Structure 1
Amino acid sequence: MDRPLPARVALVNQPLGLFRSLAMARRNVLSIIPEIAVKQPMVSGKMGKRWHMVMDPTAIREMLLDRVDDYPKSLVTKNLLRPAIGDSLFIAEGAHWRWQRRAVAPAFSHRNMLNLSPIMTAAAQRSADRIAAAGPRAINMLDEMVTSTFDVISDVTFSGGDGFDRDAVHRAIDDYIAEAGKLSLFDILGLPDWLPRPGRAMSGRALKDMKRIADGAIDARAERGPSDTPDLLDLLLDGTDPKTKRQMNTAELRDNLLTFIVAGHETTALTLSWALYLMGFDQAVQQKARAEAQTVLQGGAATGADVENLPYIRQIIDETLRLYPPAGVISRTAQRNDTLCGREVRPGDTVMVPIYALGRHQQLWDQPDVFDPDRFKDRKAIDRYAYLPFGDGPRICIGASFAQQEAVIILATLLSRFRFTPVAGKSPEPVMILTLRPEGGVWLTATPA
C-alpha cells in the first residue's frame, strides 16, 4: 500500500502564457515550476526573456562553485530585495561582496554560535511555557514559531535593548514582504530597476520605519559600547576585513543587520513550522524523536551542548528542509556564453535552481515525496549538490549553522514536553512568495507528553 504523502505543490504539466504565469507566480512562485523539473536534469523556456531550470548536481556545482562569477544573483532577486537591504552581503557581488564576507565571517564562528545558544534555550523554554499555558486547544504553531525565532534574533542582534522596537520591525518586515515580494511584470520582462514597481512603492513607509529603527539602535550601541557578552551587533561593529582593513559604516551595518534579522528569524520559523506539521503528520516519527529528546534533556530545555546528542532530531530538520526549503528557488543571471547539461546558455539568461524541485527529483531521491528522516542517517551518501537548503559554494548561507542549532534546540525542547496532533481540516498549503510558507498556518493540539 502506498504511504500517505505530506502537503505538496501541484506542478505545471502544460505550457503557460506570460500573463497567466505572472498571475500564478504572484500567488505562489512554485506553482509555475513544470512537472518535468522533477524528472529531467534541465528545463528551458522563454517568458519575456530566456530562462533555464537546472536540477543536475554537476551543472549546479559549476554554477555555484566553479564559475560563481559567471552566475551572479539574478536581476529579479536584486530588484525585489535591494530596496530593503541595499548592497548587503546577500546581494552584493565581486569585491564588494568579498570584503563584507571576510569582515562578518568571524561573527558566525562555531565558538560565537555556542556563546549565543543560551538565548535560543531561553526562547525555547518561553515557547514551551506559552504552549503549556494555552492548555489543550488548537494552536497555530506558525505564529508561535515566528514569535520564538524573532525573540532569538532580536536578543542575539540587539541584546533585547537599545530602544529596539521589535514589534515595529516585525510589522515592517511583514508589510514589505506582503507587497514588495510579489513578482512584477517588469521583473519578468527584465526592465530596468529604476522603473517603479507598484508593490514596492506601497511598501515605502515600512522600509523607512525599518531602517530608521535599525539606524537608531546602531547609533545607540556605538555611544554605549559593547555588551558584557558580545551580541551580533557588537561583533559586526568590531568586524574588520583582514585584507583591506575596511569596516562597515552605519548604512552598511544597517543593511546587513536587516538581512540577518529577516533571514535569521523567517527561515528558521518556517523550518520549525513545517517540522511540527510533519510531526503531526507522522506520529511514529514524532514518538521516536520525543524518546531521543526526553533521554537527552531529562526534563530541561535543550542547550547548545545538547545538539550533537540529538542526531534524529537533526535528521528531521534536514528532511524538513528537503521537502520545504524556505528559499524554494534561487536565481542567477548568466554573464557569458556557456553550456549546461548540453544546452546553450546565453548572456542575460535567467538560470534558476528550483530547490523545491531538486529536493523532490525522481532521479536523485528514493520516493522523493515521502517524509523519511532516515534518509539523512548517512549524510555522506547524499550528493552535496542534490541537497541545497542553504545554497553552496562561496555564497553558502553564512548563518546556516546558527539556523540549524536554533531549530534543533527549539524542536527538541517542544517534543520533549508535548505530543502534537493535527487539527482536522486544517492542513497547510505550501505557498512561496519570497519564502515557502505554510498557507493557512500549522494548527496542532499540544498535550503534555
Structure 2
Amino acid sequence: MPAPAPDNVSGLGVLTRLRRNGFAAFPSRCFQEQVVSLRALGRSLVLASGPDAVQAVLATDAASFQRLRMGRRVLGPIVGEGILVSEGETWRRQRKAMAPAFTPRVVPTLARHIASCADASLPVVEVCRPVDVFALTQTLALDIAAVTMFSMTSASFGAALRQMVTGFMNGIGQPRPSDFLLPSAVPSVADWRRARFRKQWVKLIGAIVAERPVIGDGESPRDLFDLLTQAFGEKDGVPGQAVLDEVATMIVAGHETTATALFWAVWLLAHAPHWQDAVAREVREVDLSPSGAAEALERLPITTAVVKEALRLFPPAFMTGREATADTELCGQRVAKGAMILLPLWMLHRNPALWAVPERFDPNRFLGGVEPPRFTFLPFGAGPHVCIGAQLAMTEAVLVLARMVQLFAISVVDGEAVLPVGVLSTRPERSVPFRFLRRAQA
C-alpha cells in the first residue's frame, strides 16, 4: 500500500493528497480513532473511519447528512444529474424508476448476458503474448453494460468511451482542494475544462443511444434503457436529458467499478497459486455457459469469497463523503453544520482491530457461512444510498472470474509491486502484464 499521510497532517493536506491518491491521503491514526477532526482553510473536515462513525453517517443518522457538493462538481460533467449525485425527491424518483432493473428476478437474464459476453471475449485471448488484464476487464465490462442497458454491443463506441473515461479519471476527474472549499457558484479553472468535457461526453452518449437498435413492440421493456425511458419519458421519440444522465451513470459506475474489481481479483489469484488452484477445482465441472450461468452461481462459494476478499482489500469505491446539514454529534464529538465528512471505507476494511492480519489475502474470511459485521465491510456502501447495482456487480465479477480461471492458468510476467491509486475508483498504478496458459480441460 502507499505510505499514509503523517499523523499531524492538516485538513488541507488531506484534500491535497486526495488528488494524487486516496490511499495515501489519510493518517494512520484513523485506524485507532473513530473520528478525527481537522481544519482546512477555516472549514471543518471530519475523517470518520470507525464502524460506529460510518454507521451513524450512512445509516442511523443519515438524515443529518447530505452528499458532498464536491461530488456534484467533480462527477457532474460525466454523470450529469444522475443517481450518483442527486438528493432528496429527485434521488427518490430516480431510485424508484431504476429499482425494477436490479431485483433478484432479473439475475437469470443478466447471468445469460454476462456469460455470453465472457464466452465471446475470453476464449480468443492470445496466450502467446502478455495479457493486459485491466484493458481486458474494461472491454468485457463495457460489453456487458452495453448488452444489459442497450441490447447492443460496444464494438462501435467502446474504444472512444474508454478513452474519455480514462482521460477524465487521470485529469479533471481528480478532486482538487478547490472542489471542496469553493462555493458552488464560484467556478475554478478545472470547472471550465470540465464544462468542455461535458459537451463532448453528452455528444458521445447521444450517439450511442442513437445507434441502439429498435427491437420488439416498444411496449414491454427489454433492458435498462427501456425502463428509464418509461420512467422519465421522451419527446418525439427522443429521450430527455434525465435518461441520458442515468445511462452515463450506469456506464461509468457499472463498467469501471466491475473492471477494477476483476483486475484486483486476478492480480491476487496470480500471487496466490493455492487459491487459484482452489477456484480452478471448483469451476472445473461447472456449466458457465449462458444457459447454465444463473444456476452456477450457487456452486461458486470459493470464487465468490475471492471476489469479496478482493473488494475488501481494494474496494473500487474506496471513499465516500457527506456534509452535515445541522449541528450534530458523531461518536461523542461535536460536528457543526456545514462540516465536510470523509469516510475512507478502505481503512475500515484494513483496520487491525476489526480484521485478523488485515493485509493478508485470505478468502476464508468469507467461507463457511461466516459474514463480517455489517459496518466493517462496505464495498457497496450502506444506508439509503447503498449501491443499487450491488447484486449485478457481484454476479458479473463472480461469473467472469470463474470463466477466466476455468479457461486459463494465470501468472504474472514480472514480480514488481503494483500500488492501488484511488481517485474516483481503485485503479492499478500501471499496466500489468499477465501470462495466460490454456488449461487442458478447457
- Could you give the per-residue CA deviations for residues 102-154 of structure 1, whole angstroms, max 9, x where no partner exists? 111111112223212222112212332232xx124321111111111011111
Determine helix, strand or coil for the equivalent of 1:160.
coil
Residue in structure 1 matched with residue 202 of structure 2 by the alignment: 211
Q: Could you tell me how far 1:420 is from its partner in structure 2? A: 0.8
| Aligned residue runs from structure 1 range 141-180, under 5 A | 141-160=133-152, 165-180=157-172
Q: Could you tell me how far 1:227 is from its partner in structure 2? A: 9.4
> Which one-letter code corresponds to 1:294 in the other structure?
R
Change (3 A) 1:250 1:113: farther
Q: Could you tell me how far 1:301 is from its partner in structure 2? A: 9.5
- Asked whether 1:196 is paired with 2:190, we answer no
Determine helix, strand or coil for the equivalent of 1:101.
helix
Change (3 A) 1:271 1:161: closer
Task: Tell me how far apart the structure 2 counterparts of residues 222 and 235 of structure 1 sit (CA, whole Å).
Answer: 16
Of 273, 277, 283, the residue aligned with 1:287 is 277
Change (3 A) 1:23 1:349: closer
Q: TM-score, length-normalised on structure 2?
A: 0.90
CA contact 1:70–1:335 (8 Å) conserved in 2: yes
Q: Could you tell me how far 1:206 is from its partner in structure 2? A: 3.5
Of 300, 306, 319, the residue aligned with 1:316 is 306
Task: Tell me how far apart the structure 2 counterparts of residues 302 and 447 of structure 1 sit (CA, whole Å).
Answer: 25
Determine helix, strand or coil for the equivalent of 1:43.
strand
- Could you give the per-residue CA deviations for residues 182-215 of structure 1, whole angstroms, max 9, x where no partner exists? 1223124x21223333334334444223212333
Change (3 A) 1:161 1:406: closer
Change (3 A) 1:61 1:249: farther
Task: Tell me how far apart the structure 1 counterparts of residues 39 and 350 of structure 2 sit (CA, whole Å).
Answer: 24
Q: Using the aligned pairs only, state the percent identity.
A: 28
Determine helix, strand or coil for the equivalent of 1:199.
helix
Q: Could you tell me how far 1:409 is from its partner in structure 2? A: 0.8
Of 158, 175, 181, the residue aligned with 2:173 is 181
Residue in structure 1 matched with residue 129 of structure 2 by the alignment: 137
- Asked whether 1:54 is paired with 2:44, we answer no
Determine helix, strand or coil for the equivalent of 2:45.
strand
Of 35, 42, 45, the residue aligned with 1:42 is 35
| Aligned residue runs from structure 1 range 344-363, under 5 A | 344-363=334-353
Task: Tell me how far apart the structure 2 counterparts of residues 154 and 404 of structure 1 sit (CA, whole Å).
Answer: 17
| Aligned residue runs from structure 1 range 267-282, under 5 A | 267-282=257-272
Of 355, 358, 363, the residue aligned with 1:368 is 358
Task: Tell me how far apart the structure 2 counterparts of residues 78 and 125 of structure 1 sit (CA, whole Å).
Answer: 37
Residue in structure 2 matched with residue 66 of structure 1 by the alignment: 60
Which stretch has the larger CA shift, 18-27 or 99-108?
18-27
Change (3 A) 1:342 1:118: same
- Could you give the per-residue CA deviations for residues 68-104 of structure 1, whole angstroms, max 9, x where no partner exists? 2211111222211122222211111111111111111
Of 90, 113, 118, the residue aligned with 1:96 is 90
> Which one-letter code corresponds to 2:110 in the other structure?
L
> Which one-letter code corresponds to 1:394 in the other structure?
P
> Which one-letter code corresponds to 1:342 in the other structure?
G
Task: Tell me how far apart the structure 2 counterparts of residues 161 and 30 of structure 1 sit (CA, whole Å).
Answer: 35
Change (3 A) 1:321 1:234: same
Task: Tell me how far apart the structure 1 counterparts of residues 94 and 288 of structure 2 sit (CA, whole Å).
Answer: 42
Task: Tell me how far apart the structure 1 counterparts of residues 36 and 206 of structure 2 sit (CA, whole Å).
Answer: 44
Residue in structure 1 matched with residue 433 of structure 2 by the alignment: 443
CA contact 1:313–1:412 (8 Å) conserved in 2: yes
Change (3 A) 1:223 1:216: farther
- Could you give the per-residue CA deviations for residues 150-199 of structure 1, whole angstroms, max 9, x where no partner exists? 111112211116997333333222222222211223124x2122333333
> Which one-letter code corresponds to 1:255 in the other structure?
D
What is the RMSD of the two structures over their aligned residues, measured on CA atoms? 2.6
Of 240, 246, 262, the residue aligned with 1:250 is 240
Task: Tell me how far apart the structure 2 counterparts of residues 226 and 206 of structure 1 sit (CA, whole Å).
Answer: 33
Determine helix, strand or coil for the equivalent of 2:124.
helix
Task: Tell me how far apart the structure 2 counterparts of residues 85 and 302 of structure 1 sit (CA, whole Å).
Answer: 35
- Could you give the per-residue CA deviations for residues 335-371 of structure 1, whole angstroms, max 9, x where no partner exists? 1111112111111111121111110011111111111
Determine helix, strand or coil for the equivalent of 1:169.
helix
Residue in structure 2 matched with residue 111 of structure 1 by the alignment: 105
Of 27, 51, 68, the residue aligned with 2:20 is 27
Change (3 A) 1:114 1:31: same
Q: TM-score, length-normalised on structure 1?
A: 0.89
